[in-house]
Every structure is written in structure tokens, then in C-alpha cells.
Amino acid sequence: MREVKWKLILLKDQSSPVLYDLELDMAETKDCAAEHPEIVKKMQQALDGWTKQLVHPAFPGSSIKNEDWGPAGANQKARAK
């Protein structure tokens, strides 16, 4: 997640978030999460709020196919057969 000069990275296989100050460290070499816990908390809360708004797939892992989806014009060709 990026907010102005801050970039927060949360990975499932990492126990703690990583925070970069892109104004001072464009190469993202220094994790400054420990120095700015308030920024980490604020960004995590914003990210949590955003993820709660996401809609989960109706049929995850389903074999149901949407026949109307595909490259432009492909459906018209298939229907013409």
C-alpha cells in the first residue's frame, strides 16, 4: 500500500510489516517500520478497511463458466456456428 511518501508491504509469510520512506529511500533498502509505528498502524487500518469492502467471488473454485466472457468478437463467432 502506498500513501504519499510511505510504502507499506504486508506479506503472509512475514511476521511484521515493512515500511519504506520513498522520499528518503527510493531504492527501498531501509525498513523504517520500527521508527514509525503510528504510520504502520494508520496504513494497516486503512488497508483493513479497504479489504473489508471487497466482494468475495460468488463461486470460488467453481467449474461454472461464463460463456459471455472472452475476447471481443469471439462470442458472436461462436453463436453464428
Tell me the residue range of the domain where 40 lies: 2-53
| Residue 75: predicted pLDDT | 54
CA gap 25, 32 in Å, rounded = 10
In a domain, 70, yes or no: no
In a domain, 47, yes or no: yes
Residue 68 grid coordinates:
459471455
Question: Which positions of the chain have pLDDT values less than 70?
Answer: 57-81
Residue 54 grid coordinates:
471487497
Query: For the chain, how many structural domains are there in total?
Result: 1
In a domain, 59, yes or no: no
| Residue 67: predicted pLDDT | 64
In a domain, 32, yes or no: yes
| Residue 14: predicted pLDDT | 79
In a domain, 6, yes or no: yes
- Residues paired with 6 in a beta bridge: 3, 21
CA gap 11, 15 in Å, rounded = 8
